[in-house]
Amino acid sequence: MGKKAEEIFLSADRGDATVVIPSIVLLEILHICEKQNAKLKFKQIFDMVQNARLITKDKEIIKSGLVEVVW
């Protein structure tokens, strides 16, 4: 990881920045974890982002209250 990327992630850890992870990226990570025997398991990655806020206009997701929604 480059120095600038590391600074951004450290800033996010402090709560000073937001990191956006597209849902397709999560699917790609799942694929890698399942098919390529990655060291990290998808559950570990999911646990890291499970308290994340979701960007969506989907009324059913918003109404469910299962995740904090931003938009």
Q: What are the residue boundaries of the structural domains of the chain, listed by start?
A: 20-70
The whole model's pTM is what?
A: 0.56
61: Cα separation from own chain's centroid:
17
Would you state the pLDDT for residue 44?
A: 81
Q: How far apart are CA 71 and CA 60, in angstroms?
A: 14
The structure tokens 């890698």 sit at 32
Q: How far apart are CA 7 and CA 13, in angstroms?
A: 10
Would you state the pLDDT for residue 46?
A: 76
71-to-17, 19, 45, 53, 59 alpha-carbon distances in Å: 17, 15, 24, 10, 11
The structure tokens 């469910």 sit at 64
**pLDDT tens per residue across all 71 residues of the chain:** 789 888 988 998 898 988 888 888 888 888 888 888 777 787 787 777 777 778 888 888 888 887 788 77
